[in-house]
Amino acid sequence: MTTTVSASPDARPRRISRRWVYLIGSPVVRPVKIGVSDDPEARLDDLQTGSPVPLVLMWQVHGGQRLEAALHERFAAVRTHGEWFDFGDDDPILTVAEEAEHLGYGPLPVIPLPRQPITIAPQPAERVKPDTVRGRLLAALTEGTAAPRDLAALVGVDRRAVYRPLERLVSQGHAVWLADGRLTAVETEATAPALPKCRDRVLEAVRAASGPVRQKNIAQALNVASGTVSKAVSALLVAGLLTRLDDGTLTAR
């Protein structure tokens, strides 16, 4: 859903351009674009073509190049490159719209950041070297889904520097963005067993254990990726075939 506003009736009288100033961004990465266009939705389509993450039209208001230039100048301190800005933990819609309202362009909208469906990844295009930042990120993702900030902390890189290698992993088919802003690794037939077969092996391993067993020990015993075992365990818990005890260990019912 896009917020569209008109010029504020309290603004001082002047001729306002009918060209749209827009805010385009993604529900899964922080940088947003402040631009101007006669057709923001067509501009969104153009930008989406070259973007590895889903983009949405977040906000728009009549104002033309005058308002665009004013907003660029106002937020120059958080510019990342070109017309892209990173507002950190601040809501980009409210931040930009509030400044536009202050300049006399439209009332302040109050809407949540829109969410997009899962981004489908292609088959992995190339092998990722394990001793690189991308390799460490991918290894972390095999343990389960995670947000970019958490991944940055896990592999020891600045959170602002984690997006580019993550976008590479997505564009190469090694990971996908989820609708809640987290990522997960892509499993292929060549790298992971079929989940139903894995569930059977996990259940058999837990039943064969002499007592409660930890999930990581199951993965080691079966020589299966921890992320795959985690998904199998989740399915078995939902099905009522396994029980997770207070100490985190698993036992068969």
Same-domain status, 16 and 76: yes
- In percent, the amount of the chain with pLDDT more than 70 equals 78
Residues 158 and 70 in one domain: no
Do 8 and 71 belong to one domain?
yes
Q: Evaluate whether residue 163 is within a structural domain.
A: yes
How far apart (Å, rounded) are the C-alpha atoms in residues 20 and 63?
A: 6
Q: How far is CA 158 from CA 52, 164, 177, in A?
A: 21, 12, 20
**Same domain for 244 and 159?**
no
Q: Provide the pLDDT for residue 20.
A: 92
Q: Which residue has the higher pLDDT, 53 or 208?
A: 208
Whether 32 is in a domain gets the answer yes
CB distance 232 to 187 below 8 Å? no
- CB-count exposure of residue 150 (10 Å: 0-12, 13-18, 19+): middle
Pair (96, 48) in one structural domain: yes
Sorted by sequence, the CB contacts under 8 Å of residue 66 that are 6+ apart come out as 17
Question: Cβ of 182: how many Cβ atoms within 10 Å?
Answer: 17
User: What is the domain-level CATH number for residue 172?
Assistant: 1.10.10.10
- Please give the model's pTM, rounded to 2 decimal places: 0.43
Query: DSSP label at 200?
Result: H
Q: Is residue 110 part of a domain?
A: no
Residue in this structure with the two tokens 């006669």, named with its chain if needed: 38
95 in the same domain as 7: yes
Same domain flag for 15 and 98: yes
Q: Note whether 210 and 178 are same-domain residues.
A: no
Residue 70 has pLDDT above 90, yes or no: yes
Q: Residue 189 carries which side chain, given as an amino acid letter?
A: E
Please tell me the total count of domains within the chain: 3
Q: Are residues 91 and 177 in the same domain?
A: no
Contact 163, 130 (CB under 8 A): no
Contact 34/72 with Cβ under 8 angstroms?
Answer: yes
Residues 52 and 11 in one domain: yes
Asked if residue 122 is part of any domain, the answer here is no
Contact (CB, 8 A) for 37 and 62: no
Dihedral pair phi/psi, residue 128, rounded to 5°: -100, 125
Spatial CB neighbours of 64, under 8 Å, sequence gap ≥ 6: 16, 17, 18, 19, 21, 36
**Together in a domain, 23 and 79:** yes
Q: Tell me which residue range forms the domain holding 153.
A: 133-185
pLDDT one-digit tens code per residue, 97-149: 889 988 988 765 443 333 333 344 445 456 788 888 888 888 888 777 777 88
Inside any domain, residue 67: yes
Q: Are residues 57 and 13 in the same domain?
A: yes
Joined together, the tokens standing for residue 69 give 């230039």
Taking only the tens place, the pLDDT of each residue in 167-215 is: 778 777 788 776 556 777 775 544 444 455 778 888 888 888 888 888 8
